[in-house]
């Protein structure tokens, strides 16, 4: 069996990488360690590169069609990894999951109608609602003892009060790393079905679930729920091909599928991304051994960060990581006001993270860290964090400068 080397550091500078090359645009410097946007610092499998080389060898990038091989390959993955039996008739292709969500907002709601989300959440969720002139309704997740849960009463009340038409679920949840249990999803779907709310389920992180948690595709729960959902998936996070812009959407209800596809036609996509389609087939066909090893590596990264935080950063708490390669850390015990906290990570620790407040005000006091990088980079980042932390809590305190804390 081929062994993949995730320790290898790949220089991503000068590749137009959002993560590495755009530091100035985001107010950072070249010295900051970037652990922010959700892509990985690992090379893709050779089979993906070869699929792209093959097209490059021809050197013509004309309009591309979809073959049965494409549908079959994705269906096999969904069944094998998620026990989700998809039909070709359910399948739509979009240039990304955010695009797919925006299309769902426009397809299933009218101007001014309400869409509900569970905050803090991935910031484009806000944009696909607000920018399309819909009303944003929040059902904040409840944070207690290092875990997030759902306030079902609030969820149902908000749906009724605002006549909500669409719910955008994020499962696994970015940024809080929650993987919803079957029981939680049943309660959520039951409320949605009762009030005729369509569920757009963003499952882009579905292949990154930490043991012992299990991913549940909501369409698998029962036939009734299957008929009110839109399942959004992509090979982009799983196989590190976000720049190739392909995602796969499954809508089992033919009436909803028709409405959705009409919206896609209105948006005018005439074709798919030639390289993205080739990469998607290669990824799902040949990528499983790589993914299995990658997940082991990421587990090692998670264990490393988790122990480091426990041992050296007692005022920072890791929120129970259940899924995704993003970790969500609770820094409230550091006692810093939100702006100062963000500045501590950026200016003192010289780390480029996602400040929690970009996911909504419920994220204040938290930071999101992308651990999908080689261990040595992560070690360097953690050591920088420790140095800044020690200066703040030990050296300054020793010098009686604790007024800097607030
Ligand atoms: C929950 C979630 N949805 C969607 C996306 C982006 O998807 P795409 O690049 O396919 O639009 C991300 C990327 O981080 C994400 O975390």
CA distance 43 to 325: 16
- What is the distance in A from the centroid of ligand 1 to the CA of 284? 18
**Range in 70-74, 131-135, 268-272 the model is least confident about:** 268-272
Q: Are 323 and 210 in contact (CB under 8 A)?
A: yes
The pTM of this model reads 0.96
Neighbour-count burial of 13, counting CB atoms closer than 10 A to its CB (0-12 exposed, 13-18 middle, 19+ buried): exposed
Nearest to 198 by CA among 111, 127, 109, 113: 109
Q: Which residues surround ligand 1 with Cβ inside 6 Å?
A: 38, 96-99, 122, 170, 174, 202, 204, 234, 236, 242, 247
- Whether the link from the prior residue into 117 is cis, omega within 30° of 0, is no
CB neighbour list of residue 87: distance below 8 Å, 6 or more residues apart:
75, 252
Residue 403 scores a pLDDT above 60:
no
The token pair that represents 88 in the structure block: 């070709």
Summarize the confidence of residues 71-84 as an average pLDDT.
98
CA distance 171 to 180: 6
The token pair that represents 116 in the structure block: 């509900």
Q: How far is Cα of residue 244 from the mean position of the Cα atoms in its chain?
A: 16
Q: Are 233 and 249 in contact (CB under 8 A)?
A: yes
- Residue in the structure block whose two tokens are 């959520």: 188
Residue 397 scores a pLDDT above 70:
no
State the closest ligand 1 atom to the C-alpha of 247, by its place in the atom list counted from 1: 10
| Conformational region of residue 336, where left means phi above 0, alpha means psi within -120 to 50, and beta covers everything else | beta
| pLDDT given for residue 396 in this prediction | 66
Rg of the chain taking only CA atoms, in angstroms = 22
**Hey, is 259 helix, strand or coil?**
helix
Q: Are 126 and 360 in contact (CB under 8 A)?
A: yes
| pLDDT given for residue 395 in this prediction | 80
C-alpha angle 66-71-75 in degrees, rounded to nearest 5: 165
- What is the distance in A from the centroid of ligand 1 to the CA of 218? 18
* pLDDT tens-digit map of 201-214: 999 999 999 999 99
| pLDDT given for residue 406 in this prediction | 43
Name the DSSP class of 229.
E
Summarize the confidence of residues 278-306 as an average pLDDT.
98
State the closest ligand 1 atom to the C-alpha of 122, by its place in the atom list counted from 1: 1
The answer to whether domain 18-45+288-393 and domain 61-286 are alike in fold is: no
CB atoms < 10 A from the CB of 191, how many?
Answer: 18
| pLDDT given for residue 45 in this prediction | 98
CA distance 267 to 199: 21
CB atoms < 10 A from the CB of 145, how many?
Answer: 7
CA distance 373 to 385: 16
* pLDDT tens-digit map of 161-179: 999 999 999 999 999 999 9
State the closest ligand 1 atom to the C-alpha of 37, by its place in the atom list counted from 1: 14
CA distance 326 to 298: 10
Residue 401 scores a pLDDT above 70:
no
* pLDDT tens-digit map of 314-361: 999 999 999 999 999 999 999 999 999 999 999 999 999 999 999 999
- What is the distance in A from the centroid of ligand 1 to the CA of 217? 17
At 137, give phi and psi (nearest 5°). Answer: -120, 135
Residue 405 scores a pLDDT above 60:
no
**pLDDT range class, residue 398, cuts 50, 70, 90:** low
- Give me the DSSP letters along 46-93: HHHHHHHHHHHHHT--------HHHHHHHHHHHHHHH-----GGGEEE
Q: What does CATH list as the number for 18-45+288-393?
A: 3.90.1150.10
| pLDDT given for residue 271 in this prediction | 83
| pLDDT given for residue 400 in this prediction | 57
| pLDDT given for residue 222 in this prediction | 94
Neighbour-count burial of 35, counting CB atoms closer than 10 A to its CB (0-12 exposed, 13-18 middle, 19+ buried): buried
- Minimum CA distance residue for ligand 1 atom 14: 38
CA distance 251 to 217: 12
Domain 61-286 CATH (choose: 3.40.980.10, 3.30.565.10, 3.40.640.10, 3.40.50.1820): 3.40.640.10
Q: Are 271 and 63 in contact (CB under 8 A)?
A: yes
Domain ranges in the chain?
18-45+288-393, 61-286
Half-sphere exposure of 239 (CA within 13 A, CB side): 30
Summarize the confidence of residues 237-247 as an average pLDDT.
97
| pLDDT given for residue 247 in this prediction | 97
Average pLDDT, the chain: 96
**Range in 79-88, 255-264, 266-275, 336-345 the model is least confident about:** 266-275
Q: Are 6 and 293 in contact (CB under 8 A)?
A: yes
Summarize the confidence of residues 185-211 as an average pLDDT.
98
- What is the distance in A from the centroid of ligand 1 to the CA of 312? 32
């Amino acid at each position: 069996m081929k062994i993949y080397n995730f320790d290898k550091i790949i220089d991503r500078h000068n590749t137009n990488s959002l993560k590495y090359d755009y530091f100035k645009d985001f107010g950072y410097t070249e010295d900051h360690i970037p652990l922010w946007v959700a892509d990985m610092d690992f090379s893709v499998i050779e089979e993906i590169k070869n699929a792209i080389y093959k097209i490059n060898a021809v050197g013509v990038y004309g309009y591309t069609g979809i073959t049965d091989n494409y549908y079959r390959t994705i269906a096999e993955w969904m069944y094998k990894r998620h026990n989700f039996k998809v039909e070709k008739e359910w399948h739509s292709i979009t240039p990304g999951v955010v695009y797919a969500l925006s299309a769902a907002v426009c397809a299933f709601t009218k101007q001014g109608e309400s869409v509900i989300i569970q905050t803090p959440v991935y910031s484009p969720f806000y944009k696909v609602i607000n920018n399309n002139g819909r009303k944003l309704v929040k059902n904040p997740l409840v944070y207690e003892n290092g875990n997030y849960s759902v306030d079902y009463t609030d969820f149902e009340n908000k749906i009724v009060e605002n006549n909500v038409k669409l719910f955008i679920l994020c499962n696994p949840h970015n940024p809080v790393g929650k993987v919803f249990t079957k029981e939680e999803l049943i309660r959520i779907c039951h409320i949605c079905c009762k009030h005729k709310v369509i569920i757009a389920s963003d499952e882009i992180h579905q292949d990154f679930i930490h043991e012992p948690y299990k991913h549940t595709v909501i369409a698998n729960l029962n036939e009734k729920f299957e008929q009110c959902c839109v399942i959004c998936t992509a090979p982009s996070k799983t196989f590190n091909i976000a720049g190739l812009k392909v995602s796969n959407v499954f809508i089992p209800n033919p009436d909803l599928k028709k409405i959705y596809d009409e919206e896609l036609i209105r948006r005018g996509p005439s074709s798919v991304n030639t390289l993205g389609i080739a990469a998607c087939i290669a990824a799902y066909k040949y990528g499983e051994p790589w993914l299995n090893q990658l997940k082991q590596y990421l587990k090692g990264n998670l264990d490393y960060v988790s122990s480091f935080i426990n041992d050296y950063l007692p005022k920072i708490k890791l929120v129970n990581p259940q899924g995704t390669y993003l970790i969500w850390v609770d820094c409230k015990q550091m006692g810093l006001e939100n702006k100062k906290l963000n500045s501590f990570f950026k200016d003192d620790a010289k780390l480029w993270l996602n400040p929690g407040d970009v996911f909504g005000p419920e994220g204040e006091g938290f930071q999101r860290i992308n651990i999908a990088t080689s261990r040595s980079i992560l070690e360097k980042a953690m050591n920088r964090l420790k140095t800044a932390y020690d200066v703040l809590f030990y050296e300054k305190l020793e010098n009686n400068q604790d007024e800097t804390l607030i």
